[in-house]
Every structure is written in C-alpha cells, then in structure tokens.
C-alpha cells in the first residue's frame, strides 16, 4: 500500500495558474532536478514546495501516468512534510485533484479532508489522501490564494495511488500491541485558533520504547480540538479490534484523568475517511470509550480506547473543542491495536471462580455500631439511607449488584460498607484491588470519589487485620471506565502489602454532591501483575521489562527469542532484471538491507521456499545466469537462527549477448506496377540494447525467369542485382551474393551486406526487395530464410532450423519449421509481435501519425501514443497477465488486434 506513482510512463510537471502544465527547462527552472525526485522510487527525497512555486506562474505540481488509468475506488494523494504547523485556514487553500486525459474528475481541499495527517512535527512525513469515485490517470497538488512564504517549509515527496479493495490485513497476535515500526507515521493537527498548542517529541509515540512519550501541550482553556494521529501504511486492522492510546496527564494524577475524560475522544480512519469516533458519553459501533489505569511504578497511565466495528489503518487522539479544564499537558505513550478477545485480566471474587478467587461476604462483628461492633456489610450512622441486595456482589452473574442509596442531607457521618474475602489464600503485595461500581446518572466525578475508601485486610479465622486504607486522593486511587452504556467504573489501588479481603466504603459525610443518588456495587475485583509493569499476568508475555520491542513484533526484547519482527523485509521493488548496459550485464544484485533498516541482529536473506527453516534453502543475493527465478526474501536472526515471514521476489536475467530479435516479412505491389512485388524483410530489436552487424538472409526457389530489380535498406539504395540463371551482376561494394544451394534445393541464394547496420532498442532494419514476376504472376514458390541476428557469421536457413517464409501465387501463408506461426503479412495488415508478449510489443503495418491505444478486457484505457514511423513499441512489462486489445486509428480507418500478456 501507499506505493508511489513511478515508472517509465510517469511524468512530473508544474501546474500553471491557467491550469496547464509544462515540463520544459524554462518552466521547470533551476529546480527541475529536485522536481523529478517526486517520481523516483525513493520516498525519502522530494522537492520543497517553495521551489516548485519559484518560477513563472506555477501554482503546484502534477504527476501523470501515461501507461495506467486508475479505476474508481483508488486511494490517491501526496506524501509530504512541513517545517511549521499549518492551520486549517491555510489548508483550505491547498487542493488535491484528479484528471483523466486532461479532464477534471474530482477535487478536494486539504481543509475539507478532516482526517488529514498533514500537520506534522519534526519534519515527520504525512499523507493527504482520499478515495476516488471516478477513474483518473493524473493527480495534482496545488494552492490557491496563499502567500508563498506560508508554504516554503512544505516538502513534497511523492504522489501515490493504490486500490482500496482487498488491502493487506494486519493480524495482531498479542494484546496491548503498540502501533509502531517502519510503516507507521505520526502526525499532529493543531488548529490555528490554538496557537499555544504543541506536540513535543512526536516520534516517541512510534519508537521501540513504550516508556517514551510525546507531550501534547495545551493551554488551560482549550478553544479548539488538537489531535494526534498514528497511521499504519502497511495494512488495515480488521473490524472488531480494540484500538486506542496509552496516555497520562503531566503529573500522573488518576483523578485528574477522570476529570478531563469528557474532553477526550478516540477516532479511527481508513485511507483518510473517518470510520468511528467515540467519547465517554457518546459513540458508535457498539462500544463507548473505556479508560483503564495502568500502574507503572506508581505512575498512573490511562489506556483509553474502544472496540471497533469497522476496519481502520489510522487512530487519532483528540482533545475536543470547548473544554475549559486545566489540562496543561497530556503525555501520549503509544497507540495500540489488539484483538477484541483481549481481556483486562480483572477477576472478581465470588461464588463462580475456584481457588483463591472463590469469594464470600464478610460477617459483621457482633455489637451495635458505636458500642464495640463493626459493620463490614451494611450501613452505618444515623441517616435515611440504605444498602440492599448485598449478596449480589458475589454471585456468578457479573450484572448483579447491590444498591446504596445515600442520605439527602450532607455532612452527616453516615455511609455503607461492602466487604468480600477469598478462601484464605493471600494475594501478594503489588496486586491491585477494588470494586466495580456505577453512579446513577452518569460518570463518577471527583467529588463522589473523594468519599470512597478502598481497604484491604488479612483475615485469619475470626481475626481481621487492616493492611491498607486508601482514601480517594489524587495520587493513589485508580479509576477504570468500562466500555458500554452502563457508565461502569472500577475504583481501586495497587497494594503494597499482602491481603485476602477487600472492602469499599462510601462515606457521605465527605461528599457535597450526588446526595440522594444511588450507587450500584457490582463486586470486588483482583488484578494480578507480578512484575509490576502495568500489564496483567494473563496477557503478560514475559516477566520483567516489557517496554522495549526493537523488532516491533509485539514480543518484548527481554523474552524475544527471535528478533526478525512481524514483517518481511521491505524492498524498493520485488521484481528485478539485469541491466544490459552495465559492466556485469547478466548479473542481478538483490538488496541486503531493508528500507528503514534491518531488525536488531538480523540480516536479509533469499530462499527457494517461502518459510525457510535452515540455511539449506538459501541462495546468494548476487545472481548470474540467463533465466527466470522466483525466491523469497526474509529476515534471519543471527543469534537465534530464526526467520521472519517472507515475500516473493521475481528475477528475470535476459541474454544480453544474444539480443531478442524478431523477423517480420511483408509484401505488396511495388511502385513499378502489378508485375512487380515488393518484399520487406524487417529485423526488429526487442531488447533494450542496440545490436550491430551486417544483414544476412537467403532467398530459395526464385525462378531463373524472375528478376531481382532493386535492393534497399531502410529506404536507401543498397545496390541493384539482376538474377539470370546463377549469374549475379551486382554491386559488390554493398552486397555479397553467393549460391548457397544444398542437395535437393536449387536457386538458394545467400545475401550478406558488406556494410554493418545498427538496430537501436525497439527499432528495426528493413530490407526491401523488388522482384519482377514471371508472366505478371507470382506463381512459383519463394522462401525467405532471415538471419535474426546480425554479425552472426551466417544467415539462418533451413539447414539449422531457422524461421522461413514461403509465398505462393494465391497468397497462401505457411511456415512452421520450428512450429512457429511465422508467415508473410500483407503490408496493410496490422500485426503485433511477439504475441503472446512478456515485456515489449512491437506493432507493425501502421502509418506514421496513427493513434495507438491499448485497452484491457474491462474497456479501460491502459496507454495511448502516436506512431512516428511504420513501427511502434509498447512497454507491457507491468501489465497484468491477460488479454488486451490494440487499436490503431489512421487515415485508412481503425484496425484492431488482440494481444495476450503472459
């Protein structure tokens, strides 16, 4: 995905204010070399937009693919970076548009694309994309009504286009998987109205260390909606995944996080189009925003996200317009995507679990409150309040709950306690404990939390020893907001002492709001985290430090036995061929370094099988020898000797010593009249290098009574020859003609030019023979054996199984010595060769100025060009296998021929 638009048929140009585009040196100015970097294969190079605007009346840049028409549903746009934050007001004057053969198809302003990842920091590259609804073969990036100095720091790297259908699906195997690695970009949207907003150390969000963070700095009162986006260009996450961010406020205050939760939202996008957006109070797709406090060495982080219902490849964290709370700065550690089956590892004490999670209610101590007794389950104090259905907190149904109705009058020493104890097994220090509750009317606020106390005890027999008492203060009390419409929350803390009993106390004397309301108490929960890294033991992949993942495969380095990562090597191309103009013509050198670098201790290797297990299937990255090959590129961990997933790589090494030449023979009535025939023998060079040497061919079966009137090469006189018997009065300065007959064959004459002729790539040398026929009829057999390689030392003939052409008086066409369908063609008949074609097709039998078009079976135009001579070459190497229709429109009408691409 996100493949730049490059190739032989791709052209980059500047767009003028009139809407036209030009590619001349004058138009391109002194920066034309940089402009061409936009269409090379290197996405790390580009052109500064200020230089694009620097000459004449240019207002933008365009990239056009003359060989490909992209269908509707294609994702297109530009990759670029900015040295300064640009407001949406400025971006409303930036446009991306598509054209088809010069006709405008669609236009989008950057400001209208709400999902844009354009507002970068630290020169981070970003994407401006949209999904087209019409076909196109050109995409433009331009500005209107903007001062050039606003855009001087904008750098354009490439245009790109790829299908939105059947994208690569990203399958995540591990929970809490950070979205990071070489295919991931981070961007920042800081609208101009929020001049004080900023994102510091943005790249920390997508690096290999999940303890690093970026700081989203906002003023005390936010009047805009700054956002931070993480885009994975390597594929798409499926619907049903959990997605979100791990964040914290600047002082690690859990209650402050709760207080500002309503200002936050998490959004997902697919190829630039918004998919879902959720907040704690509203959302789409079956799950509202959830928050889980992760304790990392007593530094509270919040895991904020939701379960998606649509696929996505970008996640954005947004602080919403209109918030007026003291946010100061939000630390953003990373974005995550994980399977929807991932659990939060909280286990509830109750009647259903066995072992240490089997729980029961704690009996009250005898006596009356205030007179030696103690309430563990029930109300206390003198007030009109109640606690009902307390047994529900330990039932197997997690939707059962007890209800506490608080008194109507504030300041009264009254409240309720609920206590649950396990089977006697003590949970170790470092285990988190608390209760799941709901406040009727909505999300718990700081005022209500100030009246909640979580206590732990160690129970042995009838002795209950208080271990810790945690009042809802700013530093220690944690709060999880659960997804869904119930506004459920977990209130608890990370213990420092062992325990086996958990109690919640709601003290109405400590609160000033929410009086008379009901609080639902669902049950006591336990969260085990033996290594204290914030991840529950049920999803913890390795004990100890989980923060470093150098190869981005979701397995921390501390317990990763394979450092090859979860991706195959990323190569600039996965198809290679030799360069016949190079010193080592028949050698292909495959890359040994992945784009973006290799994972730690890993090297790039090529194997004959897709899933290698040993060195036995490895091949060298330096390949020689003519032929077609298919190998698989992988990372190999040199320490653990393991392999990554693979991708296929195709190699085609052409024979540069024996160029790919093709003979074509045509005939027609000569300008001398109907008694004369003009035979055209063309030798076409289908290779990408020129070939040089004399021309050689043999005429067999020419009757004694016939006369060879004229020989020309490429239209120039090459010497007259008259055939009378076996005597040849000829111009021996130009031709060497000898009798080359063999047993059983008469009149087999060999023609070899004394001069050498050069055949450039995709061009031909043509020999024209004018023959006077016998009795004005072409009534006897004539065979032509054509040497298809100049300077080979002898023409191809029937003695060495060459291709031959035979003409009969009734224009019958035969020829099959090599089982090839080679035959003489009428001059006026359209022909394409070779057919089937693998790389380049040459079209013959056309007139200069003819319009040549190639269509696929869907009727889509693949390429269009104009012939400059009687031959034209079309590069079909990048076409998909299948059938295509070549149409030629000239002065004599329209001709068509079907071509098969292998």
Query: What pLDDT is attached to residue 284?
Result: 37
- Does pLDDT of 890 surpass 70? yes
**Structure pTM?**
0.64
Picking from 187-191, 342-346, 429-433, 839-843, which range would have the lowest pLDDT averaged per residue? 187-191
Using alpha carbons, select from 838, 829, 813, 843 the residue that is nearest to residue 895. Answer: 829
**25 and 42 housed in the same domain:** yes
Q: Which has more pLDDT, 438 or 221?
A: 438
Q: Is 612 among the domain residues? A: yes
Burial class (CB within 10 angstroms; exposed 0-12, middle 13-18, buried 19+) of 868? exposed
723 and 822 Cβ atoms separated by less than 8 Å: no
Query: What pLDDT is attached to residue 83?
Result: 64
Query: What pLDDT is attached to residue 387?
Result: 92
Q: Which SS3 state, helix, strand or coil, does residue 23 take?
A: coil
State which of 44-48, 372-376, 617-621, 844-848 shows the largest mean pLDDT: 617-621
- Does pLDDT of 827 surpass 60? no
**756 and 678 housed in the same domain:** yes
Query: What pLDDT is attached to residue 733?
Result: 57
789 and 694 Cβ atoms separated by less than 8 Å: no
Distance CA 385, CA 889 (A): 93
Distance CA 543, CA 535 (A): 10
Q: Which has more pLDDT, 25 or 436?
A: 436
**220 and 116 housed in the same domain:** no
Q: How confident is the model at residue 480 (pLDDT cuts 50, 70, 90)?
A: low
106 and 91 Cβ atoms separated by less than 8 Å: no
The string of pLDDT tens digits covering residues 711-728 is 666 666 555 444 433 333
The string of pLDDT tens digits covering residues 182-200 is 788 888 876 555 556 778 8
**148 and 220 housed in the same domain:** no
Q: Which has more pLDDT, 795 or 543?
A: 543
The string of pLDDT tens digits covering residues 19-41 is 544 443 333 333 434 678 888 87
Distance CA 654, CA 839 (A): 11
Q: How confident is the model at residue 308 (pLDDT cuts 50, 70, 90)?
A: very high
Query: What pLDDT is attached to residue 189?
Result: 74
Query: What pLDDT is attached to residue 816?
Result: 24
- Beta strands 763-772 and 673-685 are antiparallel
Query: What pLDDT is attached to residue 43?
Result: 76
CATH number where 121 lies: 2.60.120
**608 and 690 housed in the same domain:** no
Distance CA 500, CA 490 (A): 18
Distance CA 414, CA 515 (A): 12
**Phi (first) and psi of residue 311, to 5 degrees:** -65, 160
474 and 255 Cβ atoms separated by less than 8 Å: yes
Maximum Cα–Cα distance for the chain, whole Å? 142
Tell me whether the omega of the peptide bond preceding residue 107 falls within 30 degrees of 0, making it cis. Answer: no
Distance CA 724, CA 512 (A): 125
**721 and 779 housed in the same domain:** yes
Give the pair of three-digit tokens for residue 396: 């197997």
Please provide the DSSP assignment of 500-562 as one string.
SEEEEEEEGGG-SS-TT-EEEEEEEEEE--TT-SSS-TTT-SSSS---B-TT-SSS-GGG-S-
- Residues 25/30/31/35 CA torsion (nearest 10 deg): 10
For residue 631, what are the domain limits? Answer: 575-643
User: 10 Å Cβ neighbour count for 239?
Assistant: 16
Q: Name the DSSP letter for residue 34.
A: H
- Does pLDDT of 521 surpass 90? yes
- Does pLDDT of 879 surpass 50? yes
Strand partners, 894: 889
Give the pair of three-digit tokens for residue 799: 């003695």
Picking from 360-364, 372-376, 462-466, 807-811, which range would have the lowest pLDDT averaged per residue? 807-811
Query: What pLDDT is attached to residue 50?
Result: 59
CATH number where 334 lies: 2.60.120.260
Q: How confident is the model at residue 312 (pLDDT cuts 50, 70, 90)?
A: very high
- Does pLDDT of 894 surpass 70? no
The string of pLDDT tens digits covering residues 211-262 is 899 988 876 555 567 889 999 988 899 999 999 999 887 655 555 555 566 6
Q: Which has more pLDDT, 176 or 524?
A: 524
Tell me the percentage of the chain whose pLDDT exceeds 90: 19
The string of pLDDT tens digits covering residues 140-177 is 988 776 545 555 567 788 898 988 888 888 888 888 88
- Does pLDDT of 790 surpass 50? no
190 and 197 Cβ atoms separated by less than 8 Å: yes
Q: Indicate the number of domains in the chain.
A: 6
Q: Name the DSSP letter for residue 325.
A: S
Give the pair of three-digit tokens for residue 137: 């073969």
Q: What is the mean pLDDT of residues 875-885?
A: 82
Q: How confident is the model at residue 734 (pLDDT cuts 50, 70, 90)?
A: low
* Final residue of a structural domain among 827, 850, 875: 827
Strands of 882-890's sheet, edge to edge?
861-866, 851-855, 882-890, 893-901
- Does pLDDT of 432 surpass 60? yes
Query: What pLDDT is attached to residue 70?
Result: 94
Query: What pLDDT is attached to residue 511?
Result: 61
Tell me whether the omega of the peptide bond preceding residue 836 falls within 30 degrees of 0, making it cis. Answer: yes
**522 and 609 housed in the same domain:** no
Q: Is 538 among the domain residues? A: no
**32 and 152 housed in the same domain:** yes
* Final residue of a structural domain among 827, 855, 879: 827
**385 and 474 housed in the same domain:** yes
The string of pLDDT tens digits covering residues 67-126 is 889 999 999 998 877 665 555 555 667 788 999 988 999 998 776 654 444 444 344 567
Distance CA 730, CA 749 (A): 13
Query: What pLDDT is attached to residue 617?
Result: 96
Q: Is 534 among the domain residues? A: no
The residue whose two tokens read 């027999």 is 461
Distance CA 247, CA 534 (A): 13
Q: Which SS3 state, helix, strand or coil, does residue 626 take?
A: coil
CATH number where 857 lies: 2.60.40.3080
**210 and 249 housed in the same domain:** yes
**357 and 490 housed in the same domain:** yes
Distance CA 571, CA 632 (A): 12
778 and 807 Cβ atoms separated by less than 8 Å: yes
704 and 823 Cβ atoms separated by less than 8 Å: no
Q: Given its phi and psi angles, is residue 519 left (phi above 0), alpha (psi -120 to 50 degrees) or beta?
A: beta
**Phi (first) and psi of residue 258, to 5 degrees:** -65, -40
Q: What is the mean pLDDT of residues 36-61?
A: 67
Q: Which SS3 state, helix, strand or coil, does residue 214 take?
A: strand
CA distances from 752 to 64, 756, 763, 881 (A): 46, 10, 20, 40
Q: Is 282 among the domain residues? A: yes
Q: Is 533 among the domain residues? A: no
- Does pLDDT of 519 surpass 50? yes
**189 and 328 housed in the same domain:** yes
- Reduced 3-state DSSP string for 826-859: ECCCCEEECCCECCEEEEECCCCCCEEEEECCCC
Distance CA 147, CA 49 (A): 12
User: 10 Å Cβ neighbour count for 454?
Assistant: 25
Q: Which has more pLDDT, 515 or 690?
A: 690
Tell me the percentage of the chain whose pLDDT exceeds 70: 63
Q: Is 467 among the domain residues? A: yes
Query: What pLDDT is attached to residue 304?
Result: 86
Q: Which SS3 state, helix, strand or coil, does residue 811 take?
A: coil
- Residues 590/595/599/602 CA torsion (nearest 10 deg): 10
Query: What pLDDT is attached to residue 804?
Result: 43
Q: What is the mean pLDDT of residues 647-660?
A: 75
The string of pLDDT tens digits covering residues 383-430 is 788 899 999 999 988 889 999 988 776 656 788 999 999 988 899 998
Query: What pLDDT is attached to residue 106?
Result: 94
Q: What is the mean pLDDT of residues 811-819?
A: 28
Query: What pLDDT is attached to residue 709?
Result: 62
Q: Is 654 among the domain residues? A: no
Q: If residue 51 lies in a helix (H) or strand (E), which one and from where to where?
A: helix 49-52
Distance CA 271, CA 313 (A): 7
Q: Is 559 among the domain residues? A: no
Distance CA 508, CA 442 (A): 18
**Phi (first) and psi of residue 179, to 5 degrees:** -90, 105
Picking from 213-217, 248-252, 369-373, 579-583, which range would have the lowest pLDDT averaged per residue? 369-373
CATH number where 676 lies: 2.60.40
Alpha helices in 424-497 (DSSP H): 446-449
Query: What pLDDT is attached to residue 600?
Result: 81
Q: How confident is the model at residue 898 (pLDDT cuts 50, 70, 90)?
A: confident
Give the pair of three-digit tokens for residue 635: 């990372």
Average pLDDT, the chain: 74
Query: What pLDDT is attached to residue 255?
Result: 54
Q: How confident is the model at residue 474 (pLDDT cuts 50, 70, 90)?
A: very low
Q: How confident is the model at residue 623 (pLDDT cuts 50, 70, 90)?
A: very high
- Does pLDDT of 886 surpass 60? yes
* Final residue of a structural domain among 771, 795, 827: 827
């Amino acid at each position: 995905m996100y493949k730049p638009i490059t190739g032989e048929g791709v052209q980059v140009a500047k767009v003028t204010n009139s809407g036209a585009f030009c590619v001349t040196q004058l138009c391109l100015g002194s920066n034309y070399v940089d402009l061409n970097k936009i269409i090379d294969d290197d996405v790390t190079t580009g052109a500064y937009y200020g230089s694009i605007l620097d000459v004449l009346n240019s207002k933008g840049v365009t990239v056009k693919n003359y060989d490909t028409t992209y269908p509707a549903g294609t994702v297109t746009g530009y990759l670029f970076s900015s040295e300064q934050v640009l407001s949406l007001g400025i971006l409303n004057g930036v446009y991306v548009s598509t054209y088809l053969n010069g006709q405008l198809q669609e236009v989008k302003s950057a400001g209208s694309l709400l999902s844009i990842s354009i507002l970068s920091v630290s020169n981070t590259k970003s994407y401006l994309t949209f999904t087209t609804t019409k076909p196109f073969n050109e995409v433009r990036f331009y500005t209107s009504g903007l001062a050039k100095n606003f855009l001087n720091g904008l750098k354009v790297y490439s245009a790109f286009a790829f299908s939105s259908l059947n994208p690569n699906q990203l399958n995540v195997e591990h929970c809490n998987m950070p979205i990071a690695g070489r295919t991931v970009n981070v961007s920042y949207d800081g609208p101009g109205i929020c001049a004080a907003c900023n994102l510091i150390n943005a790249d920390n969000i997508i690096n290999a260390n999940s303890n690093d963070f970026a700081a989203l700095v906002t003023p005390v009162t936010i009047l805009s909606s700054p956002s931070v986006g993480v885009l994975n260009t390597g594929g798409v996450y499926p619907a049903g995944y959990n997605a979100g961010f791990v964040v914290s406020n600047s002082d690690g205050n859990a209650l402050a996080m709760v207080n500002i939760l309503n200002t936050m939202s998490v959004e997902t996008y697919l190829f630039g189009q918004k998919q879902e957006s959720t907040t704690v109070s509203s959302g789409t797709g079956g799950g509202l925003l959830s928050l889980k406090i992760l304790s990392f060495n007593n530094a509270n982080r919040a895991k904020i996200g939701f379960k998606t219902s649509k696929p996505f490849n970008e996640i954005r964290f947004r602080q919403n317009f209109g918030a007026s709370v003291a946010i100061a700065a939000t630390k953003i550690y990373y974005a995550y995507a994980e399977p929807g089956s991932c659990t939060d590892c909280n286990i509830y004490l109750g009647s259903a679990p066995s072992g240490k999670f089997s729980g029961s209610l704690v009996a009250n101590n005898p006596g009356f409150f205030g007179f030696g007794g103690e309430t563990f389950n029930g109300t206390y104090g003198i007030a009109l309040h109640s606690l009902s259905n307390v047994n529900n907190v330990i039932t197997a149904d997690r939707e059962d709950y007890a209800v506490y109705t608080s008194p109507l009058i504030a300041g009264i020493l009254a409240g309720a306690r609920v206590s649950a104890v396990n089977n006697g097994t003590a949970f170790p220090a470092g285990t988190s404990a608390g209760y799941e509750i709901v406040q009727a009317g909505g999300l718990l606020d700081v005022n209500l939390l100030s009246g909640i106390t979580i206590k732990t005890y160690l129970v042995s027999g009838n002795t209950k020893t208080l271990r810790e008492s945690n009042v809802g203060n700013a530093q220690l009390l944690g709060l999880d907001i659960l997804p869904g419409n119930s506004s459920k929350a977990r209130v608890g803390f990370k213990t420092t002492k062992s325990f086996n009993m958990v109690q919640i106390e709601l003290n109405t004397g400590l609160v000033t709001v929410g009086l008379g309301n009901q609080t639902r108490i669902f049950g006591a929960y336990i969260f085990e985290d033996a290594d204290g890294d914030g991840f529950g033991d049920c999803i913890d992949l390795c004990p100890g430090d989980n923060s470093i993942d150098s190869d981005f495969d979701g397995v921390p380095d501390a317990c990763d036995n394979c450092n090859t990562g979860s991706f195959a090597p990323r190569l600039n191309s996965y198809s290679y061929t030799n360069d016949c103009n190079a010193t080592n013509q028949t050698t292909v050198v495959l890359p040994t370094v992945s784009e973006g670098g290799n994972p730690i201790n890993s090297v790039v290797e090529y194997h004959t099988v897709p899933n290698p297990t040993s060195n036995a299937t490895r091949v060298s990255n330096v390949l020689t020898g003519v032929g077609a090959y298919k190998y698989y590129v992988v990372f190999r961990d040199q320490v653990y000797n393991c392999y990554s997933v693979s991708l296929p790589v195709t190699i085609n090494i052409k024979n540069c010593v024996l160029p790919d030449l093709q003979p074509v023979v045509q005939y027609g009535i000569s300008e001398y009249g109907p008694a004369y025939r003009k035979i055209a023998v063309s030798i076409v060079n289908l290779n990408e290098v020129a070939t040089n040497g004399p021309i050689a061919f043999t005429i067999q079966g020419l009757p004694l009574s016939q006369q060879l009137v004229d020989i020309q090469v490429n239209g120039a006189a090459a010497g007259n020859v008259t055939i009378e018997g076996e005597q040849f009065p000829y111009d021996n300065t130009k031709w060497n003609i000898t009798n080359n007959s063999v047993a059983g064959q008469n009149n087999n004459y060999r023609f070899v030019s004394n001069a050498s002729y050069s055949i450039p790539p995709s061009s031909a040398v043509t020999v024209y023979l004018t023959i006077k026929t016998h009795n004005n009829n072409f009534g006897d057999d004539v065979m032509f054996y054509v040497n298809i390689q100049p300077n080979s030392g002898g023409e191809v003939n029937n003695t060495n199984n060459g291709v031959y052409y035979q003409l009969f008086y009734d224009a019958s066409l035969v020829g099959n010595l090599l089982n090839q369908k080679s035959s003489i063609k009428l001059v006026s008949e359209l022909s394409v060769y070779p057919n089937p074609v693998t790389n380049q097709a040459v079209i013959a039998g056309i007139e200069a100025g003819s319009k040549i078009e190639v269509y696929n079976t869907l009727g889509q135009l693949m390429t269009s060009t104009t012939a400059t001579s009687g031959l034209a070459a079309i590069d079909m190497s990048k076409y998909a296998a299948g059938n295509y229709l070549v149409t030629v429109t000239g002065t004599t009408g329209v001709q068509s021929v079907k071509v098969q691409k292998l």
